[in-house]
């Protein structure tokens, strides 16, 4: 590819409010979901280990931030997701899934009851279609706003709570999956205690014009370093968390993906608000009878990682599944992967083979997560 062509492609990419800070910090920038994003600063391995030991600051401003307003917003949203939104208390957050008529996952998202509205964070690659879905399906029942004037950053790791408490002491008492509007260094922010690393931490929605100032204040702490998307991926893989477009998509159901825990009893068969969302009958049948395949953890033998799209076979060489995410787990101290296998091969301890460059590499079905979650429960 010529330098001119690469420059033209870069010029077409969107930039987050923290872009200049990334350049200043020596980030390696790559295209991601239509944005120019930092994949690494000091190196993926070093950044990964720093988050596990101290705290890392991630730019996740490419994600979509939305607000739903109106008395009927919660009930309206329940027509698109199999989660209990109506009973979600103010100040609490919930993991949710947009489903399609076949029970597949259109996107996964976070929903927080922010008091006078619902605050949604959706995936970068899906935000345009999610916004269109909401406006088409719910536009006559609630007000839908795109908060495109805000940045989003994630402060993750065991030192995150202490760092943020220096700016807002009340964050120390916030439990996992809660949210509040807070003043951080004089900046009006919306903070949730959540993240995508398996570690304790926070996601901070901040006005775009104040994002760099806030990031600099957080990075001034010795415990905090900037972290790129590369380490974000290895951290979430060790934590057994799904990546949309890889581990879950429109062809996978919540039950196949091992996400039935996210469907509250009130939305299940016999619940006060059972069904009433796209694909409900398909999902209900899988909850009752079990799915034909399941997402599992995989531990390859040796040190060589098994990457996404590697086919999985049983001991007789019969195809029984596919790897969806894979790489080296620095904290797990070895290769780790996730994928889908036939349900009768999904038990922990089952030995399989992953086909890598024509060779069969032994892998074993392993429990998830690979690294224990350290969320703050209060």
Q: What does 215-262 look like in DSSP terms, one character per residue?
A: HHHHHTSTTEEEE-HHHHHHHHHHTT---BTTTB-TT--TTTTT-GGG
CA 154 to chain centre: 12
Walking along the chain (378 residues) 10 residues at a time, the average pLDDT comes out as 47 94 98 98 98 98 98 97 98 98 98 98 98 98 97 98 97 97 98 98 98 98 98 98 98 98 98 98 98 98 96 97 98 98 98 96 98 95
Domain ranges of the chain: 3-60+149-238, 292-368
For residue 8, what pLDDT is reported?
A: 54
Pairing of strands 179-184, 93-99: unpaired
Which one, of 337, 338, 295, 345, lies nearest residue 316 by Cα?
Answer: 345
Instruction: List strands edge to edge, sheet with 179-184.
Output: 179-184, 187-192, 201-207, 150-156, 55-59, 224-227
For residue 18, what pLDDT is reported?
A: 98
* Residue 188, beta-bridge partner list: 183
The SS3 of residue 167 is: coil
Q: Which helix (H) or strand (E) holds 122?
A: strand 118-122
Report the b/e string of 5-15 with b at 16+ CB within 10 A.
eeeeeeeebeb
- Here the tokens at position 240 are 């057994």
105-108 — which CB contacts under 8 Å span 24+ positions?
A: 105/244, 105/248, 105/249, 105/250, 105/252, 105/253, 105/254, 105/257, 106/130, 106/133, 106/250, 107/244, 108/242, 108/244, 108/248
Taking the model in full, what pTM does it have?
0.96
Q: For the domain with range 3-60+149-238, which CATH number is right: 3.40.630.30, 3.40.50.300, 3.30.1360.120, 1.10.730.10?
A: 3.30.1360.120
Q: Are 71 and 115 in contact (CB under 8 A)?
A: no
For residue 378, what pLDDT is reported?
A: 84
* Residue 339, beta-bridge partner list: 296, 323
CATH class of 292-368: mainly beta
């Amino acid at each position: 590819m010529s330098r001119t062509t690469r420059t033209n492609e870069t010029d077409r990419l969107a930039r987050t409010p923290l872009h200049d800070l990334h350049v200043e910090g020596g980030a390696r920038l790559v295209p991601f979901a239509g944005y120019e994003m930092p994949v690494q600063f000091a190196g993926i391995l070093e950044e990964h280990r720093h988050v596990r030991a101290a705290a890392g600051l991630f730019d996740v401003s490419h994600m979509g931030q939305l607000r739903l307003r109106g008395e009927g917003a919660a009930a309206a949203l329940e027509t698109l997701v199999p989660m209990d939104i109506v009973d979600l208390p103010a100040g609490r957050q919930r993991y949710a899934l947009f489903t399609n008529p076949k029970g597949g996952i259109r996107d996964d998202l976070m929903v927080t009851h922010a008091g006078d509205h619902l605050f949604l964070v959706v995936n970068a690659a899906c935000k345009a279609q999610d916004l269109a879905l909401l406006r088409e399906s719910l536009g006559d029942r609630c007000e839908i706003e795109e908060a495109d004037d805000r940045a989003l950053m994630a402060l993750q790791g065991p030192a995150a709570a202490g760092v943020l408490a220096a700016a807002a002491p009340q964050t120390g008492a916030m439990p996992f999956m809660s949210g509040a509007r807070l003043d951080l260094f004089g900046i009006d922010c919306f903070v949730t205690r959540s993240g995508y690393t398996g570690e304790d931490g926070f996601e901070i929605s901040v006005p775009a014009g104040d994002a760099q100032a806030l990031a600099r204040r957080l990075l001034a702490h010795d415990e905090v370093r900037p972290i790129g998307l590369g380490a974000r991926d290895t951290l979430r893989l060790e934590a057994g968390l799904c990546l949309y477009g890889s581990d879950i998509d429109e062809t996978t159901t919540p039950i196949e993906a091992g996400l039935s825990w996210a469907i509250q009893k009130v939305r299940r068969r016999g619940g006060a608000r059972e069904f009433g969302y796209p694909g409900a009958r398909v999902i209900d049948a899988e909850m009752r009878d079990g799915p034909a395949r399941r997402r599992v953890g995989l531990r390859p033998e040796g040190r060589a990682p098994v990457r996404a799209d590697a086919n999985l076979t049983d001991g007789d060489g019969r195809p029984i599944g596919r790897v969806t995410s894979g790489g080296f787990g620095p904290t797990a101290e070895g290769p780790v992967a996730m994928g889908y296998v036939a349900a009768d091969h999904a038990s922990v301890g089952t030995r399989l083979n992953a086909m890598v460059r024509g060779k069969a590499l032994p892998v074993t079905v392993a429990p998830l997560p690979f690294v224990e979650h350290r969320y703050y429960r209060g």
